[in-house]
Structure 1
């Protein structure tokens, strides 16, 4: 049995992994899909203090309090920032890292650095509420364009659950505390065909050569649009790690 911890991206919550989680559990594995502070069912906890470090602590605390080890830690989009920080701070509890069309930061980089104009563009539509600058407001974010989801039922389901995201999370740099331990954890990449050209070619070539690259022809929210293919990739990773 493998243990998966699935970390969502910006504006989402653990809810976005429902389909993938069902498939992994049906295959006999243990799955955690927490919502980060200020998002999803925890959106009422948003505050000016919520930043990338908060979200890293969310997941390191989950690992600690649930006594989880040998974890396959997966992150989607902004979640790549979070799982990188978790792997740096709790390397002994992480067995494999999986980047699901996710950010791959280097030491000292923020999501705004990694994603550049793509994420900075969202700031112009932001609002400051009770001292917290929030972006990715559902009413100003085109789900089809931004997340690559076009099925009307899925779009309606998402629009009912997406929440704005604290901008502070996107501008805070990730600072490594034990980079060598992080680098020692095997990394896997499940990417969308449409985004490969925007990614570090060296990273992609290295992952492909090592057999650690899955290319799925779908939109950015691949866990919603292609849950079976994502689950299959995660199962293959678990099998290889056994």
Structure 2
């Protein structure tokens, strides 16, 4: 692959025939030699554990990598309470970057973490040189995670409200590869934890810090059907400040389904 091939704005790794998407060929992007700093943000029900296959590869290449679990999730699930909200998760990220004195960060947000990353950039945008939004929400000012969530998640949110529970339950049983390949379903189910309901219900406050980041990449995983992600991709395609990619043959958890390809794309985007 030539340098020009790599830097094209829109790359599709498969061909569509009669409504079906063919398997994507393996694409390798050579890692950049300069040492980079990455902060990976996890989506609903997940913690830093979900990024391990990607972070191990980047660390092996000599990059500095952080994949925090947000308050109330994964190894911090003992902190789950109704007091945990979107501001809590935004503070988790802002404080990590400030206390670790991180600069020139590549901020990678997956799924619901598009809200968290967008909010964090309002405070630490000057420390972030690039962003990668992986099948992630690009919220508007005043939106809530509950407003853009998938129908099953919205039902979970309402159930948690009705029962007075602090967390939304999800990923208890995965039955489709649009989320993750069968080989990893048991692993994900064993690690997933309820997501703090306050993170879904609190409106986000934004002034446009995300759009001010110099280098922005959106990666869509269309095997996972969700209209807000399709709209985000379309908006990014129409905005010359964004680079877009599509990986049609992997599920929503691309960091598990295709860690090598995803690592290469993230390095390209940093």
**Where on the TM-score scale, by shorter chain, does this alignment land: which range?**
0.7 to 0.9
The whole-number CA distance in structure 1 between the counterparts of 2:241 and 2:193 is: 37
Summarize deviations over 1:17-57 as a string: whole Å, max 9, x none: 00000111122211100000000100001111101110000
Q: How many positions carry a matched residue from both structures?
A: 231
Say whether residues 1:11 and 2:45 are aligned partners: yes
The whole-number CA distance in structure 2 between the counterparts of 1:166 and 1:9 is: 12
The whole-number CA distance in structure 1 between the counterparts of 2:103 and 2:165 is: 35
Residues 136 and 205 of structure 1: is their aligned pair in 2 closer, same or farther, counting only changes over 3 Å? same
Gaps of 5+ in 1: none
Give the 3-state SS of the residue equivalent to 1:5 in structure 2. strand
The whole-number CA distance in structure 1 between the counterparts of 2:181 and 2:203 is: 33
The whole-number CA distance in structure 2 between the counterparts of 1:195 and 1:160 is: 21
Say whether residues 1:213 and 2:241 are aligned partners: no
What TM-score results when the alignment is normalised by the length of structure 1?
Answer: 0.87
Answer yes or no: is the 8 Å Cα contact 1:144–1:150 preserved in 2. Answer: no
How far residue 204 of structure 1 moved from its aligned partner, in angstroms, is 3.9
Show the counterpart of 2:259.
227
For residues 7-46 of structure 1, what are the structure 2 equivalents within 5 Å?
7-46=41-80
- The structure with the greater share of residues assigned to helix is 1
Answer yes or no: is the 8 Å Cα contact 1:87–1:182 preserved in 2. Answer: yes
2:218 aligned to 155, 172, 189, which one? 189
The whole-number CA distance in structure 1 between the counterparts of 2:176 and 2:168 is: 16
Structure 1 stretches of at least 4 aligned residues deviating more than 4 Å after TM superposition: none
What is the aligned-residue RMSD (CA, Å)? 2.3
Give the 3-state SS of the residue equivalent to 1:4 in structure 2. strand
How far residue 125 of structure 1 moved from its aligned partner, in angstroms, is 4.7
Show the counterpart of 1:148.
179
Give the 3-state SS of the residue equivalent to 2:223 in structure 1. helix
How far residue 187 of structure 1 moved from its aligned partner, in angstroms, is 2.1
For residues 39-118 of structure 1, what are the structure 2 equivalents within 5 Å?
39-115=73-149, 117=151
The whole-number CA distance in structure 2 between the counterparts of 1:138 and 1:119 is: 10
Show the counterpart of 1:175.
205
How far residue 115 of structure 1 moved from its aligned partner, in angstroms, is 2.9
- If you compute each CA radius of gyration, which structure gives the higher value, 1 or 2? 2
The whole-number CA distance in structure 1 between the counterparts of 2:262 and 2:84 is: 29
Say whether residues 1:134 and 2:134 are aligned partners: no
What TM-score results when the alignment is normalised by the length of structure 2?
Answer: 0.78
Show the counterpart of 1:237.
269
RCO (CA 8 Å, sep 6+): is it higher in 1 or 2? 2
Answer yes or no: is the 8 Å Cα contact 1:190–1:230 preserved in 2. Answer: no
